[in-house]
C-alpha cells in the first residue's frame, strides 16, 4: 500500500507498507523532508511496523515521537504527518490530480444565492453529478454571514447592520461571523469528494484544502501561514478564515473569506464582537486583528483573484467551468425555502 501527504507549508511525506494479520508490516517512510540524525529514519520505520491497522493518526504519531532519539530534528514534517500518510495509504485516498477540476467565476448573485449554491454544488459533487469545483464568489450587496450555530442576537447588531446596508444571512457551515462588504473581500468555495481528505483529521483537512491559496499568497509577496484551526494569517495579522460542512452523501464544502479591504469602525458597529472572543488574541481591537490583502499587495482585487485562479489551475490541472441553469434553478428554490426564511436565520436566536 502506498500513501502520500503534502504537509501544508512543508514537505511531501510518502509511506509504503503491507498489512499482515491486521498489523502494519514492511513499513518505509520517504519524502523530501529533512531529518537529523540520519538513522532516525530507521527508528520511525520500526515504530510504525507492528501497529494495528486501526491505529489512528494520534496513535501513530505518539509511537513515532516516542521512538525518536533525544534531540532529533524533523524539518518540513511532523509525527502527525506520518500518521496522516499512513491512514491515507490504508484507505487508498486519492490526490488532487486524481480528479478533474473545474474553476467557476460567474456573474454576481445575492449573498443568499451564494449560500444556496454552496449547498447545491456540494450535494452534486457528493452525488457525482458535478466535477470537483473551485468557485470564486461575486455578490451584488453587502452582508453579514453568520455561522450555522451562532446566536443571531449575540453576533449581530441589527441597527448597525441596517444603518450600514448589510443584509444578515446564515450559512450551513460552522465558525464565526464574516463581514462581507461588497468588493472588499475575496471568498471562494471548494466542493470536493470526501475521499480527497480521507485519512485526515478534521483539523488537518482545513490546512490541506487551503494549501494552494497559501502558495498563491506567497507568490504575491505575502508570508502567509495557516493558524489552527481555520485562520489564514501573515506576520501583519489575520487575513481570513475558513469553514467546512460535510454532507451525508460524501460531498465536502470548504469555503474561505479573505479580507481585501475593510473599515474597522464599521465592523465594530455591525458585529457584536465581545471581549471574551478577543481575550486570547493579544489585541484590544477587532479591527487590528485583520490585515487586508490590499494593504499588503497594493493590487486590485481582480488581480488577486486572477492569481488565485491561475495558481489553482496550474497546480491541479483545472479547466474553466460554469454553473448550469439547472443548478441555478435548484439554488433559487433553496433560497425561497430556506435561506430567505426567518426560521433559518433565527434557528439559533
pLDDT at 209 over 70: yes
The pLDDT, as a whole number, for residue 96 is: 96
Among 169-173, 174-178, 282-286, the minimum mean pLDDT is found in 282-286
CA 124, 128, 131 angle in degrees (round to 5)?
A: 80
pLDDT at 262 over 90: no
pLDDT at 244 over 50: yes
* pLDDT (average), residues 40-53: 98
Output the CA–CA distances (angstroms, integers) from residue 18 to 27, 62, 82, in the order listed. Answer: 7, 20, 16
- Model pLDDT for residues 263-309, shown as the tens digit of each residue: 888 999 999 975 445 445 544 455 556 789 999 999 999 999 999 99
- Model pLDDT for residues 136-152, shown as the tens digit of each residue: 999 989 999 999 999 99
pTM of this structure: 0.90
The pLDDT, as a whole number, for residue 290 is: 78
The pLDDT, as a whole number, for residue 285 is: 53
Among 16-30, 145-159, 208-222, 289-303, the minimum mean pLDDT is found in 289-303
Contact of 205 with 244, CB cutoff 8 Å:
yes
The pLDDT, as a whole number, for residue 9 is: 84
Q: What is the share, in percent, of the chain residues with pLDDT greater than 90?
A: 89
- Model pLDDT for residues 66-112, shown as the tens digit of each residue: 999 999 999 999 999 999 999 999 999 999 999 999 999 999 999 99
pLDDT at 334 over 60: yes
The pLDDT, as a whole number, for residue 291 is: 81
Amino acid at each position: 500500500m502506498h500513501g502520500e501527504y503534502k504537509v501544508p507549508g512543508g514537505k511531501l511525506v510518502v509511506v509504503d507498507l503491507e498489512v499482515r494479520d491486521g498489523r502494519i508490516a514492511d513499513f518505509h517512510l520517504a519524502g523530501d523532508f529533512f531529518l537529523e540524525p540520519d538513522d532516525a529514519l530507521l527508528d520511525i520505520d520500526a515504530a510504525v511496523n507492528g501497529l494495528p491497522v486501526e491505529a489512528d493518526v494520534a496513535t501513530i504519531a505518539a509511537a513515532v515521537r516516542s521512538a525518536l532519539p533525544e534531540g532529533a530534528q524533523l524539518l518540513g514534517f511532523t509525527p502527525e504527518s506520518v500518521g496522516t500518510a499512513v491512514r491515507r495509504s490504508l484507505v487508498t485516498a486519492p490526490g488532487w490530480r486524481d480528479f478533474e477540476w473545474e474553476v467557476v467565476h460567474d456573474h454576481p448573485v445575492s449573498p443568499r444565492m451564494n449560500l444556496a449554491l454552496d449547498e447545491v454544488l456540494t450535494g452534486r459533487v457528493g452525488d457525482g453529478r458535478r466535477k470537483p469545483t473551485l468557485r470564486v464568489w461575486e455578490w451584488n450587496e453587502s452582508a453579514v454571514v453568520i455561522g450555522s450555530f451562532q446566536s443571531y442576537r449575540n453576533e449581530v447588531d441589527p441597527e448597525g447592520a441596517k444603518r450600514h446596508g448589510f443584509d444578515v444571512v446564515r450559512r450551513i457551515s460552522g465558525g464565526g461571523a464574516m463581514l462581507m462588504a461588497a468588493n472588499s473581500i475575496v471568498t471562494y468555495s471548494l466542493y470536493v469528494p470526501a475521499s480527497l481528505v480521507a485519512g485526515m483529521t478534521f483539523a488537518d483537512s482545513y490546512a490541506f484544502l487551503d494549501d494552494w491559496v497559501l502558495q498563491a499568497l506567497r507568490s504575491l509577496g505575502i508570508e502567509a501561514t495557516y493558524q489552527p484551526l481555520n485562520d489564514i494569517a501573515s506576520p501583519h495579522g489575520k487575513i481570513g478564515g475558513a469553514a467546512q460542512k460535510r454532507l451525508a452523501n460524501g460531498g465536502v464544502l470548504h469555503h474561505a473569506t479573505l479580507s481585501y479591504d475593510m473599515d474597522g469602525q464599521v465592523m465594530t458597529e455591525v458585529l457584536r464582537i465581545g471581549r471574551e472572543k478577543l481575550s486570547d488574541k493579544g489585541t484590544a481591537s477587532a479591527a487590528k486583528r485583520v490585515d487586508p490583502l490590499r494593504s499588503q499587495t497594493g493590487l486590485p482585487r481582480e488581480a488577486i483573484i486572477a492569481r488565485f485562479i491561475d495558481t489553482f489551475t496550474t497546480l491541479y490541472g483545472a479547466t474553466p467551468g460554469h454553473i448550469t441553469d439547472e443548478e441555478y434553478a435548484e439554488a433559487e428554490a433553496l433560497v425561497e425555502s430556506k435561506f430567505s426564511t426567518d426560521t433559518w436565520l433565527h434557528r439559533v436566536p
